[in-house]
Structure 1
Amino acid sequence: MRSKLQKFGLIGIGMVAGVLVSLNFSANAGKETVSGLPVEELRSFADVYNAIKQGYVEPVDDKKLITHAISGMLSNLDPHSAYLDADAFKDLQVNTQGEFGGLGIEVGMEDGFVKVVAPIEDTPAWRAGVKSGDLIVKLDETPVRGMTLNDAVKRMRGKPKTPITLTIIRKGESKPLVITIERDKIKVQSVKSKLLEPGFGYVRVTQFQEETVSDLVKHLDKLYKDPENKGEELRGLVLDLRNDPGGLLHSAVGVSAAFLPAKTLVTSTDGRTEDAKRKYIAAPEDYLRGYKQDMLKDLPAGTRNVPLVVLVNSGSASASEIVAGALQDHKRAVVMGTQTFGKGSVQTVLPLSNNSAIKLTTARYYTPNGRSIQAKGIVPDVVVEETANGEAHNPLMREADLDRHLENDKDKSAPAKTTDKSKTPAKSGKDKGGAKDEGDETTQFKPIEFASKSDYQLKQAMNLLKAWQIIRKP
């Protein structure tokens, strides 16, 4: 019987405003007894608790005090450990199925502000132009500083068609941006595909969910059977993982297995307990997770040999990095784009007796060659910026920018910081041209369109695949 830290095997980044957390689920918490309790520190805790109960200006509920104590204890460990109340835990369980209500952004907490890890494609936040690296400092008229991440996420949730206004600080902008977004029911389409031209296919994974592997097989089958392809084998394929914030570990293993030989090592995890030490291979036992039949049995025959380019960027995180790292280490694909997010830690969800749970970082994960991605990410084989002139639409926000992030235990040269923070709002006032005060206007931004004619990185991937064809000719 598998241990409690392995039972579900999910992995992820943070929280989604609306809300998605992809993690490791445990069947039970609390069976093991705790030994060696720090008596003096617990006495100090009791003294503070008593002082608040007796002397705080207003009465404070016991449950609220304990909940906040638990939340603070976890949130101060690292950016990904957190307390999930009953509502957040319920949302978590629903959201791994790929449907939830809200804005559609993957977020974390930094210095009291909500920091955007990545907007989820085709969601209200994505369409409104919210970007990776944005700092959300105000929700409607309420400052974010002082809120817990759970509180902020709850405020961003809401009934479909109801608006919320985000005040955002963005690197490179001289004043805060005010963006009004209409909430909606989010149904994330995990896999998308198109035939770029005869012989060359494109598959995009937006998030790793329960149905991702089976959806991938369907899309690949559709590409191979596309009438424009005239029944020929694909001569090249682009796997797009840009801005994919991660998701379920077994789905990442399954996607990797679609392109790798059977029984190939995909990733491994290592932590302090034996439960956290595990290897995941390209085999049904590590990616089925509830499916009775192997969905990869219907995979088109050429998939494991087709020339492959994997596109990544700073918004590619967690499960995306597992796939990119596995395909890179086994030299199955050329990884192209910009350095990934660097989310190389495993979180385990431990349910509590009151229908709540804790999300606890329990391990780091590694590529097949033993590289730790934590706070470093996957460095592409071919570095290609978003535009021909080297400009990036997204700020380079990565794991290393998050306060209290875990260090990379394999590579001490991993950067401590990769971006400027720009945490303080610019002063209010008018510019020389007599513009309105900051926040007077609602600003909308055009999001990047992946797989469009203006997608520079995809064009370079296609150039590489076509050059590959020329080199391979006898």
Structure 2
Amino acid sequence: MVKKRQLILSVIAAILITAVLTFTFTNFMSLRLGDKVIISSSDYEIVKESRKLLTLKKYIDKYYLEPADSEKLMDGAIKGMFQALGDPYSVYMNEKEFKEFDESTSGSYGGIGVIVTEKDGYVTVVAPIEDTPGEKAGLKTGDKIIKVDGAEVTGIGLDKATTLMKGKKGTKVVLTVSRENKTEPLVIEIKREDIVLKTVKAEILKDEIGYIRISMFDQDTGKEFKRALADIKTHDAKGLIIDLRQNPGGFVTQCVEVADELLDKGTIFYTEDKNKNQVVTSSKDGKIDIPFVVLVDEGSASASEIVSGAVKDRKAGLLIGTKTFGKGLVQSVEKLGDGSGFKLTIQKYYTPNGIDINKVGIEPDIEVKALEIKEGQRPEDVKDVQLDRAIEEIQKLIK
């Protein structure tokens, strides 16, 4: 009887362990075999759900009319689990998708060059990346992409939508876009290119004012910013403008490196997880010795809001432009053993004054709305009133 009981429990344990390993998540173990814990009681509900999943999988294998690809079924189940969180920033990616995601944050990838999120069920443009086909075609922050090559993308998930938009260099993709204040959807044809990111650009403007544009925070942005700052200093710049407009964010480590150059010792931001554990990220002693302003707009999101929030709260410089996007969540990116991976929201971040900016954004110190680009106009042909105001404010500070 004892042997039979042990055999039954062993079989149950094997099923449970298989289910858990299939999902590639740690060691959820709780029944007891003798004095050994197989699965903890707190995770027993997860085990029951895993058993349900396996039962359905077996039923499909046995009765479904067509051959079923087991790997695709499990990928779909895991994707569904992440989608059910209702968080557009938490997503599971198969091996191909994770590789494409990794390439998109490491300096070079193929596509149209646009950062999107899911908002109210729509694939929504956070910001087109500077000097990419998406920007040149006229995509704007807030545009809702409703079709890609005629296929509806509303409600299919960000990963599927972005996969449809990507493709080989030289091929074309047609986006159907809903834009605020437009009664009819726009149909925009874009030719895909190899997207090579140079995230930092610098120059000297009139009156010895330095200008550094950061288009996003990739793996080398901190290093590139320090190099640009050193170059600006060699020209004896008396003031500095840092342009974070249409900057959708990126690596938090890189925005911290930028903020550390701008701020003296103190808090840059802090994070809080589901258990209310807080982690404070601080800047070190020493900062630039010239006045600066930061340009922001509705396309300034995530990591760029960390920099903006710290500058504003600590009164280190002026924020000029319009209210930022409002993404105050932190994701962990994990690669799994089979090449797949996932992003999962694990923390919320707060500005030094404890302000939660998620879905709210950061108000600038001085609001200046950009002039609207009319039909047929190129962005470079429209007067940049926000930059003009930044120059004006810097001139006041250096006189």
TM-score tier after normalising by the smaller chain length: 0.7 to 0.9
What residue is the counterpart of 2:247 in the other structure?
244
- Partner SS for 1:304: coil
Instruction: Specify the alignment match of 1:379 in structure 2.
Output: 363
**C-alpha displacement of 1:48:** 4.8
1:290 is matched with which residue? none
* TM norm structure 2: 0.83
Query: Which of residues 271, 274, 296 in structure 2 aligns to 1:272?
Result: 274
Q: How does 1:64-463 map to 2 (within 5 A)?
A: 64-77=72-85, 78-110=87-119, 113-145=122-154, 147-226=156-235, 233-261=236-264, 263-272=265-274, 277-283=278-284, 304-387=288-371, 446=377, 448-449=379-380, 454-463=383-392
- Post-superposition offset of 1:146: 5.8
2:28 and 2:275 map into 1 onto residues whose CA distance is: 15
Q: Which amino acid aligns with 2:282?
A: I
SS at match of 2:230: helix
Q: Which has the higher strand share?
A: 2
Identity, % of aligned positions: 38
Q: Is the 8 A contact 1:265 1:368 kept in 2?
A: yes
Shift of 1:249: 0.7
Q: Structure 2: any 5+ residue segments left out of the alignment?
A: 1-23, 30-39
Paired AA for residue 209 in structure 1: D
- Is the 1:128–1:447 contact (alpha carbons within 8 Å) kept by the matching residues of 2? no
**Alpha-carbon distance between aligned partners in 1 of 2:84 and 2:244, rounded to the nearest angstrom:** 30
* TM-score, normalising length: structure 1: 0.71
Residue 322 of structure 2 aligns to which amino acid in structure 1? T
**Would the alpha carbon gap of residues 247 and 328 (structure 1) be closer, same or farther in structure 2, given more than 3 Å must change?**
same
Give 1:324 shift. 0.5
Structure 2 counterpart SS, 1:116: strand
- Say which SS state the counterpart of residue 198 (structure 1) adopts: helix
Letter in 2 for 1:467: K
User: Could you give the per-residue CA deviations for residues 332-373 of structure 1, whole angstroms, max 9, x where no partner exists?
Assistant: 111111111111001111222321112110000111122122
Instruction: Return the structure number with greater helix share.
Output: 2
Residue 95 (structure 1) shift: 2.8
Q: Cα gap change, 1:453/1:178 in structure 2, threshold over 3 Å: closer, same or farther?
A: closer
Amino acid at match of 2:383: S
- For 1:125, give the aligned amino acid: G
AA aligned to 1:271 is D
Q: State the one-letter code of the partner of 1:33.
A: F
Give the secondary-structure state (helix, strand or coil) at the position aligned to 2:290. coil
Query: 1:466 matched to which residue of 2?
Result: 395
Secondary structure of the residue aligned to 2:363 is coil
| 1:53 Cα deviation from its structure 2 partner | 4.6
Equivalent residue for 2:37?
A: none
**What per-residue deviation string (whole Å, max 9, x for no partner) do you get for residues 232-273 of structure 1?**
x42221111000000111111110011112x42211111035
Distance 1:80 1:97, change over 3 A: same
Q: Distance in 2 between matches of 1:364 and 1:196?
A: 37
CA distance in 2, matches of 1:279, 1:319: 15
> What SS does the corresponding residue of 2:262 show, helix, strand or coil?
coil
Q: Residue type of the partner of 2:78?
A: I
CA contact (8 A) 2:88 2:158 kept: no
CA-to-aligned-CA distance 1:286-343 (integer Å, 9 cap, x gap): xxxxxxxxxxxxxxx9x61211111111100011000011111111111111111111
Structure 1 376/110 Cα, relative in aligned 2: closer, same or farther at 3 Å? closer
- Give aligned pairs, total: 362
Larger RCO (CA under 8 A, 6+ residues apart)? 1
- Post-superposition offset of 1:105: 0.5
SS at the partner of 1:88? helix
Distance 2:76 2:376 in 1: 37
Q: Give SS of 1:465's match.
A: helix
